[in-house]
Structure 1
Amino acid sequence: MPFIPHTEEDINAMLASIGANAIDDLFDEIPAFLKTGSLKRVPPGLSEMEISRLMLERAEMDGRYLNFIGAGAYEHHIPAAVWQITTRGEFYSSYTPYQAEASQGSLQLLYEYQTIMASLTGMDVSNASMYDGASALAEAALMAVRSHKSSRRILIPTTVHPVYRSVVRAIVKNQGIDVVELPYCKQTGQVLVETLDEFGKEEFAALVIPQPNFFGVLEEVDALTDWAHSKNALAIAVVNPMALAILTPPGEWGEKGADVAVGEGQPLGIPLSSGGPYFGFMACKQALVRQMPGRIIGRTTDLDGKTGFVLTLQAREQHIRRSKATSNICTNQGLMVTAATIYLSLTGPEGLRRIAAQSHANTLALLEKLESCKGVKRIFSGPLFHETVVSLPAPAKDVLQALKNQRILGGLNLDEYYPELGSAMLVCATETKTSADLENYTEKLMHAIDNL
């Protein structure tokens, strides 16, 4: 119950001063038929001990599952120190500093975050985060159109996350922007450069390049980036930040590097949490900084020579001239960015590399075990990071349900998104999986297939 400082005497004195007999008189304009009366289905109040017991029992009803689902949200180990520090009062309440220069702690943290993300992506500058990876991609598409000026076409491979593609279309469809989807090679699971020429006959603003793509396959990013630049288009990278610990960063793709890099920051210390909140990251080359939505924190010195932090750029919707803002949906997901910055600071470059390498190794080990199961085959031959697509000898929906009945979340059924693949599922293994977990999953999968 919220703390209410007024005594009964205070309340009566205030009511008397306005000529009311009771608090309910202040709401007499509400029709009686809209009032619910007493809450008959709400049980009597419980003690602290009783409510703790009830919540524990309900949490146990969910059970504990061995998780092999990825598809854009990944189960990584999060050191206890990350959220212990993140939820300290100095960080926990920080969000948008409307009196920015008075919020030096918040600004310094965002500056450190930007520095880390610019380094991780190999780009010149990073903003202070977006809602999520999908909306960050949509904003990057709008950046490309504003920058290009003469084209309102975006090329986006079908190997980009289906939800990301849906969000992009939803955001740009009423702005006269044409989103053209590119097919993938059925053998490798990649977009082949030689198939793009028929789509490049008309001018376009950008080519979206996922790395890794939704299938977990690594795209030929150097060739794709150079192809986009040869067509006078921007190259927009959609990347998994964890993969960047061992893969070439977008800023170094091809001869000139990608122009914009976006993605979902959830792998960086953010729990799965039933789908969020997460945060999107965005970084770009210096030439595009004025087109980038959000805000940028700069480092400077004051008149006494002391280090200070300021809002250098803030093309934000709540500030003046908001009709000219580069975006009206961008935000700073302050708490998530705080956790990610602390996570990256604690793990460091070498720790991040070890996590990514172990995730890759576990997925290769899992794939080897799965292919030993009758009728299970890897679909795409392209190199992978920590996800892969396998075909099943029985309907994926039934197989996954049978696994779920045995407390295993076996993967993502791809029938809704890629029906042409037949009975197929996307599986993922991160550094959290042990050899015993992989063996357990394989045994349960074989049992599920044999009984369908």
Structure 2
Amino acid sequence: MRYLPLDTEDRRAMLDVVGAKAIDDLFADVPADALNPPLDLPDHAGEFAVERQMAAMAARNRAAGAGPFFVGAGAYKHHVPATVDHIIQRSEFLTSYTPYQPEIAQGTLQYLFEFQTQVASLTGMDVANASMYDGSTACAEAALMARRVTRRDGIVMSGGLHPHYESVTRMNGGLVGGKASVSEASPDGKDNVIDLITDETACVIVQTPDVFGNVVDLEPIAKAAQDKGALLVAVVTEIVSLGALKSPGEMGADIVVGEGQSIGNALNFGGPYVGLFATRQKYMRNMPGRLCGETVDADGKRGFVLTLSTREQHIRRDKATSNICTNSGLCALAFTVHMTLLGETGLRKLATLNHEAACATADALSAIDGVELINDAFFNEFTLRLPKDAADVVEALAARDILAGVPGSRLWPEDESKHNLLIVAATELTQDADIEAFANALKEVL
């Protein structure tokens, strides 16, 4: 049996087409030391020895729950009830087959339908899909969708958009070159994004709360964009905020994307996450990803199916709505279970606890000499201006077992004007003792 799809004749035919004599010719411009780098690997060892070595390496990590933790900037530590983990590990979910065959995937399809309903309700939109990979790729897909809808290429991004979201949107959204412009946003929330909107703008992408923590009023931006025939894409990286703030849909957004990690999903050293995507009904057929719908079978019984998107359309390359033809299924299930446990009352209470913890933290830290609170309005995250480089402060506090936040240099390495900024997040897990320890240690460091 042959396991390689190409034989010698196949390779020769391909090389003839590209004008190369041998496969090695394809790598002529690659330095030899890069092609065959020396591998400094240890000798092989037994399973027990390897397990011990790997455990020792893992022990060098510091778990987010091991002490005071104030890191956010798009990924947040929240309490995930044990019930969530129990339910998502039930065999009905772990062994579910692809939802393309609804006759044996009703459980999966039903929770996806419930997930979509929850996301649409949270964002104030008409319809939501069955999730994306994460918030940043959802943002890029929104830019592509806006370009399809408006038949324009220009994208305007707020300077308050998370830099990682901006980078992914430029690359995945096909915006490399002059098709995207970014407004000048200051940490205090002042933004000239409206001034950049033109008749060639497909969409305006604005994050709220923004990367600095500022709560953004989307209504004037939505009006300015729509007056020019452009769409407003609202980005929400902290979905818990929608338990306290007006939804983007209520403020006029046309597309809402975000990161759902805060609900049901732990930090997990960076993933996996769950991207949220919702829009107005009139744009539904241009929406990427999967969409689950409710119907009835031949006997009149309720059932669920994927709808408005065939499996084959995802392999039509540039003619496809999107080349993302899957979704973060297990993470979406965890989101749905946790949101169901919370309910509307629970979500509002959770949001209140987050805001109260952030206010208490901001009050304690901004009272320290030399520390300035930038924000006028925030949810559970805010930005401090320190009298010295924030990265040095973070390192000094980490040595005291306090993870103090995200320094500006991590997000804007080339912009030295932001290197004394510290982005701090507090959640329902933040205790008074954590705040006191942070404040006392910060005084010592400064």
TM-score in terms of structure 2 length: 0.84
Q: Paired residue for 1:189?
A: 189
Residues in 1 aligned to 2:219 and 2:97: alpha-carbon distance in whole angstroms: 37
Relative to structure 1, is the Cα distance of residues 204 and 93 closer, same or farther in structure 2, using a 3 angstrom cutoff? Answer: same
SS at 1:274 equivalent: coil
Q: 2:228 aligns with which of 228, 231, 236?
A: 231
Residues in 1 aligned to 2:186 and 2:269: alpha-carbon distance in whole angstroms: 33
Shift of 1:331: 2.4
Unaligned runs of 5+ in 1: 1-13, 15-33
Does the 8 Å CA contact 2:143/2:203 hold for their aligned counterparts? yes
Residues in 2 aligned to 1:203 and 1:224: alpha-carbon distance in whole angstroms: 16
Residues in 1 aligned to 2:325 and 2:123: alpha-carbon distance in whole angstroms: 20
Q: Paired residue for 2:254?
A: 259
Residues in 2 aligned to 1:81 and 1:396: alpha-carbon distance in whole angstroms: 38
Q: Paired residue for 1:390?
A: 384
- Tell me which amino acid in the other structure corresponds to 1:385: F
Q: 2:136 aligns with which of 127, 134, 137?
A: 134
| Residue 435 of structure 1 pairs with residue 432 of structure 2 | yes
- Tell me which amino acid in the other structure corresponds to 1:393: P
SS at 2:48 equivalent: coil
Does the 8 Å CA contact 1:366/1:438 hold for their aligned counterparts? yes
Does the 8 Å CA contact 1:243/1:356 hold for their aligned counterparts? yes
- Tell me which amino acid in the other structure corresponds to 2:191: V
- Tell me which amino acid in the other structure corresponds to 2:370: G
Alignment of 1:258-337 (within 5 A): 258-314=253-309, 316=311, 321=316, 324-337=319-332
Shift of 1:375: 0.8
Does the 8 Å CA contact 1:316/1:326 hold for their aligned counterparts? no
Relative to structure 1, is the Cα distance of residues 56 and 175 closer, same or farther in structure 2, using a 3 angstrom cutoff? Answer: closer
- Tell me which amino acid in the other structure corresponds to 2:93: F
Q: Deviations over 1:158-205 (max 9, x none)?
A: 10000000001112346877111011246x32325xx733x2344311
Does the 8 Å CA contact 2:100/2:306 hold for their aligned counterparts? no
Q: Paired residue for 2:243?
A: 245
Does the 8 Å CA contact 1:73/1:266 hold for their aligned counterparts? yes
Q: 1:125 aligns with which of 127, 130, 151?
A: 127
Residues in 2 aligned to 1:331 and 1:434: alpha-carbon distance in whole angstroms: 39
Q: Paired residue for 1:28?
A: none
Shift of 1:61: 3.5
| Residue 343 of structure 1 pairs with residue 342 of structure 2 | no
Relative to structure 1, is the Cα distance of residues 415 and 315 closer, same or farther in structure 2, using a 3 angstrom cutoff? Answer: farther
Unaligned runs of 5+ in 2: 2-35
Q: Paired residue for 2:403?
A: 409
SS at 2:239 equivalent: coil
SS at 2:291 equivalent: strand
Does the 8 Å CA contact 1:215/1:388 hold for their aligned counterparts? yes
Q: Paired residue for 1:146?
A: 148
Q: Deviations over 1:210-231 (max 9, x none)?
A: 1111000011211111111111
Relative to structure 1, is the Cα distance of residues 298 and 270 closer, same or farther in structure 2, using a 3 angstrom cutoff? Answer: same
Q: Deviations over 1:94-129 (max 9, x none)?
A: 464232332111111101111111111111111111
Relative to structure 1, is the Cα distance of residues 331 and 176 closer, same or farther in structure 2, using a 3 angstrom cutoff? Answer: farther
Q: 1:79 aligns with which of 81, 89, 99?
A: 81
Does the 8 Å CA contact 2:99/2:306 hold for their aligned counterparts? no
Alignment of 1:24-103 (within 5 A): 41-46=43-48, 59-63=58-62, 64-94=66-96, 96-103=98-105
TM-score in terms of structure 1 length: 0.83
Shift of 1:312: 1.1
SS at 1:108 equivalent: helix
Shift of 1:65: 3.9
| Residue 400 of structure 1 pairs with residue 394 of structure 2 | yes
Q: 2:423 aligns with which of 422, 426, 442?
A: 426
Q: Deviations over 1:62-83 (max 9, x none)?
A: 3434210100000001111111
SS at 1:263 equivalent: strand
Residues in 2 aligned to 1:327 and 1:112: alpha-carbon distance in whole angstroms: 23
Residues in 2 aligned to 1:293 and 1:344: alpha-carbon distance in whole angstroms: 23
Does the 8 Å CA contact 2:135/2:275 hold for their aligned counterparts? yes
Q: Deviations over 1:219-245 (max 9, x none)?
A: 121111111111111111101321111
- Tell me which amino acid in the other structure corresponds to 2:399: N
Relative to structure 1, is the Cα distance of residues 104 and 232 closer, same or farther in structure 2, using a 3 angstrom cutoff? Answer: same
Residues in 2 aligned to 1:321 and 1:154: alpha-carbon distance in whole angstroms: 25
- Tell me which amino acid in the other structure corresponds to 1:62: N
Relative to structure 1, is the Cα distance of residues 317 and 369 closer, same or farther in structure 2, using a 3 angstrom cutoff? Answer: farther
Shift of 1:394: 2.1
Does the 8 Å CA contact 2:295/2:302 hold for their aligned counterparts? yes
Does the 8 Å CA contact 1:413/1:425 hold for their aligned counterparts? yes
SS at 1:190 equivalent: coil
Identity of aligned residues (%): 43
Q: Paired residue for 1:375?
A: 370
| Residue 448 of structure 1 pairs with residue 442 of structure 2 | no
Relative to structure 1, is the Cα distance of residues 71 and 200 closer, same or farther in structure 2, using a 3 angstrom cutoff? Answer: same
Relative to structure 1, is the Cα distance of residues 446 and 175 closer, same or farther in structure 2, using a 3 angstrom cutoff? Answer: closer
- Tell me which amino acid in the other structure corresponds to 1:369: A
Q: In the comparison of the two structures, how many residue pairs are matched?
A: 401
Shift of 1:42: 3.0
More off after superposition, 58-67 vs 115-124: 58-67
Does the 8 Å CA contact 1:155/1:180 hold for their aligned counterparts? yes
